[in-house]
Structure 1
Amino acid sequence: MQRILVRGGGPLSGRVAISGAKNSVLKLMAATVLAEGTFTIRNVPDITDVRLMAELLEAMGCTATLDGDVLTIVRPAEITPEAPYELVEAMRASIVVLGPLLARVGRARVSLPGGDDFGQRPIDMHLDGLRRLGADLTFEHGYIEGRAERLRGTRIVLEYPSVGATENVLMAAVLAEGTTVIENAAKEPELADLAAFLNRMGATIIGAGSSTVTVDGVEHLHPVDHAVIPDRLEAATFLTGLAVAGGELVLEQARPEHMDMLMHKMGDMGLRTSAHPDGVWAAAPERIRAVDINSLPYPGIATDYLPLMVAALSVADGPSIATENIFGGRFRYVDELVRMGADIRVEHHYALIRGVPRLSGAPVKAHDIRAGAAIAMAALGADGETVIADAQHVARGYDRFVEKMRSIGADMDAD
């Protein structure tokens, strides 16, 4: 998928199934390094990043087969503990193989990460945490070289509740000698899903989903069969489209308890949302109200939500301020919305938005996964056709994006 073509039109309606969470399944795949045998992971989205992580595991000597939404991974007795540049450069989440490799194999060679281009995202906390567990880490020729005889549990206080750092330390600690306590840990549902996966493998983890996670190291882990939680970011994308285009939707499998703050803020914008026997029900007014939003660690408004909400607020009734507190440089997509007629001005980490009644279709570009999805949602409220280039970014994080949007009434195509 190189381009997405969107023509603004009428309201959205119907039901759409939410796929498994991208930000969970990639970490579950990395965790399979910790135990020999055959893993079955269900509710897996067919997205580019899953295929990239599968390639990474296969480069280590594993096999990974995706059949529908069922992923089977076979981890052999011996693997090559290296994550090569060409794969890690394409997907930042690859860095989370570092902790499992050090814990299970005792050595690792992992390229410095790449991924979406929206500002500096250093991995210092990952490395500091692993060093606290006893890993010897050095840099050589663009790679992190790591060794560890046997990791040892300790108390680790993260400077910031980084999801990636929490995941890397958690996966290393499950096979460490003794007890590890992670303070100021990330609380995201995807982190709790990883902990549930590891506990089913035989780990002993208490407190995942809270700011303090305690891990009692074990000697061995074993393969499991596990279903991935639904993707709250995909659900947020459909809610954004609804906010722009109007209508009524049921988001099947979506979990409202994972989106409390988002649903509260959407309510302030005029959307009506509620738990539904099949997931989440939502209905939108003819035009949403302006609100101010701030990105914060979970359970706050996720930084990945912000581009989506800015897109919606570009056609809201009134002025809004969006504050990006997590990643500097993440407002690049605003230039594309401005090309479509949005009235948005960026000052440092603030976006000042004055809602307009309608946008105008234009040729634009997707700079990253969420930016591409946000622009597509904004285009639902534009006159004429919007052509979104570099749409391969969207395919990295969304399973059958255009097909699902068409199923609920969007006039959208891809080529």
Structure 2
Amino acid sequence: MDEIHVIGGNCLKGSITVQGSKNTVLPIMAASLLQREICVLRGCPRILDVCYMEEILHILGVVTWWKGHDLYLDCSKVYGMEIASEYTGRMRCSVILLGALLGRNQRGVIGYPGGCVIGKRPIDLHLYALKSLGAIISEKNGKIQADCKKLKGQEINFPDRSVGATEQALLAAVLAEGETVLRNCAREPEITWLCRFLQKMGARICHEKEGCIRVQGVTSLHGTKMLIPADRIVTGTYLCAAAASRGSVTVENAPEGEMEAFLEVYRKMGGQYEWKSGKLIANGAGIQFSVPFLETEAYPGFPTDLQSPLLAVLTTVPGISRIRENIFENRFKICSELTKMGAHIEVRGSEVKICGSRLKGCRLRAEELRGGAALVIAALAADGESVIEGVPFIRRGYEDICRDLRYLQAEIYMEDILSV
């Protein structure tokens, strides 16, 4: 079992190139099932969630191989239609494979999806979209089964915006008969990238206006290549790491245009940044202002995935800050760990009050992905050494957080305690 050791107090500085986007690549991997040739995903992050999705695709008959950070997916002989819960239970986004399996084989059976325990995260909107397109859904023995003779285009009005449900509907609609109109869709950048990938495979998709996507079904798709964009959440995480240490960082390949909500909060805290020749140059030396009130929202609002990293920064900022979490009800699991470090935090339902204080290093345990990264951030700002358990949660979304932070002159390393 691995542990991350952090010696706090170093002022981070330097340049870094961020890995490919986790939230972009996973639905794209699922989308590759809709064609019967080879797709190449360039700049694919080698993280645990990609490995989990790759294992699932192997079960279905996909042949994969890597060349550096380029992932090759040969989907010419995919006959499998069922994925056991031992695989789907690892990650919630596995549920979107239903739409891809229906589009390819008219049938899909999956165990209930899992992932980080940060809230209920129901899949009712996913099933609503598939039923609207003509799928027959049954649930029994811990499995979800979807069947159809032929998916048919339909107008779908989502009662709430959902990234996963929007992706599900897109995957099912591109090979459906006729036209599908999706309204009140999620607007996250990952949706745009999925649409671009599907279009490169031959899908006919049009963004008519914000929150509305029109899909004209086609009879077949073909293989393609695509460069996976930089991960906006990892970018924000490393900016938070530099901010907590009052350092500076240059992100060589930052996803410009995708981080306005985060950067606005960063600026209000006293941070400075500029875009220059495709680079994001951020200086956190002046961070000293609390955040009176912030709430997480669907894109383009402040992302829930950066709430925990920001919370870790705010524990080091003088004054009182408040955050309301509107997306996942269990995002504040990290707070009990931060209080071990001396943080002054008060949780009341969906809101948290943070009073800035001096942190001290101690032993901590990650219980979910973004909270684990936030513990690393807090450890970088703390006095003394911190040891963080639960590393596999962090590896789900960060290729090598220790390596990346060492590029920024952090004193951090991984230790395998079984080998000691």
Deviates more, 1:113-122 or 1:70-79: 70-79
The match for 2:386 is 386
After superposition, the Cα gap between the structure-2 partners of 1:208 and 1:240, relative to the gap in structure 1 and judged at 3 Å, is farther
DSSP 3-state at the match of 2:331: coil
Distance in structure 1 (CA, Å) of the matches to 2:367 and 2:170: 31
Matches within 5 A, 1:210-221: 210-221=210-221
Tell me, yes or no, if the aligned pair for 2:9 and 2:380 is still in contact at 8 Å: yes
The match for 1:346 is 347
The match for 2:405 is 405
Letter in 1 for 2:207: G
Tell me, yes or no, if the aligned pair for 2:49 and 2:396 is still in contact at 8 Å: yes
DSSP 3-state at the match of 1:104: helix
Aligned residues: 414
Distance in structure 1 (CA, Å) of the matches to 2:246 and 2:181: 46
Tell me, yes or no, if the aligned pair for 2:61 and 2:77 is still in contact at 8 Å: no
Tell me, yes or no, if the aligned pair for 1:182 and 1:212 is still in contact at 8 Å: yes
Is 1:119–2:125 an aligned residue pair?
A: no
The match for 1:6 is 6
CA deviation vs aligned residue, 1:256-313 (integer Å, no higher than 9, x gap): 3000111111100111112121421100125431112110000001111100111110
Is 1:193–2:181 an aligned residue pair?
A: no
CA deviation vs aligned residue, 1:345-372 (integer Å, no higher than 9, x gap): 000000001011x201011110111000
Is 1:106–2:106 an aligned residue pair?
A: yes
DSSP 3-state at the match of 1:72: strand
CA deviation vs aligned residue, 1:298-349 (integer Å, no higher than 9, x gap): 0001111100111110111210001000111211011001111110000000
The match for 2:327 is 326
Tell me, yes or no, if the aligned pair for 2:9 and 2:381 is still in contact at 8 Å: yes
Letter in 1 for 2:94: S
- How far residue 208 of structure 1 moved from its aligned partner, in angstroms, is 8.0
Tell me, yes or no, if the aligned pair for 1:181 and 1:212 is still in contact at 8 Å: yes
CA deviation vs aligned residue, 1:144-167 (integer Å, no higher than 9, x gap): 111011111111111211000000
Letter in 1 for 2:341: M
Distance in structure 2 (CA, Å) of the matches to 1:76 and 1:233: 33
DSSP 3-state at the match of 2:181: strand
Matches within 5 A, 1:14-413: 14-207=14-207, 210-291=210-291, 292-356=293-357, 358-413=358-413
The unaligned stretches of length 5 or more in structure 2 are 416-420
CA deviation vs aligned residue, 1:89-132 (integer Å, no higher than 9, x gap): 01111111110111111000011101001110000000001000
Tell me, yes or no, if the aligned pair for 1:195 and 1:208 is still in contact at 8 Å: no
Distance in structure 2 (CA, Å) of the matches to 1:82 and 1:271: 49
The unaligned stretches of length 5 or more in structure 1 are none
Distance in structure 1 (CA, Å) of the matches to 2:203 and 2:287: 49
User: TM-score, normalised on structure 1?
Assistant: 0.98
Distance in structure 2 (CA, Å) of the matches to 1:250 and 1:119: 34
Tell me, yes or no, if the aligned pair for 2:256 and 2:278 is still in contact at 8 Å: no
Tell me, yes or no, if the aligned pair for 2:4 and 2:412 is still in contact at 8 Å: yes
Deviates more, 1:239-248 or 1:125-134: 239-248
DSSP 3-state at the match of 1:156: strand
- How far residue 209 of structure 1 moved from its aligned partner, in angstroms, is 8.4
Distance in structure 2 (CA, Å) of the matches to 1:247 and 1:364: 23
Letter in 2 for 1:177: E
User: TM-score, normalised on structure 2?
Assistant: 0.97
Letter in 2 for 1:116: C
Tell me, yes or no, if the aligned pair for 1:15 and 1:252 is still in contact at 8 Å: yes
Distance in structure 1 (CA, Å) of the matches to 2:310 and 2:81: 40
Distance in structure 2 (CA, Å) of the matches to 1:286 and 1:196: 39
After superposition, the Cα gap between the structure-2 partners of 1:209 and 1:349, relative to the gap in structure 1 and judged at 3 Å, is farther
Tell me, yes or no, if the aligned pair for 2:174 and 2:218 is still in contact at 8 Å: yes
Letter in 2 for 1:224: T
DSSP 3-state at the match of 1:181: strand
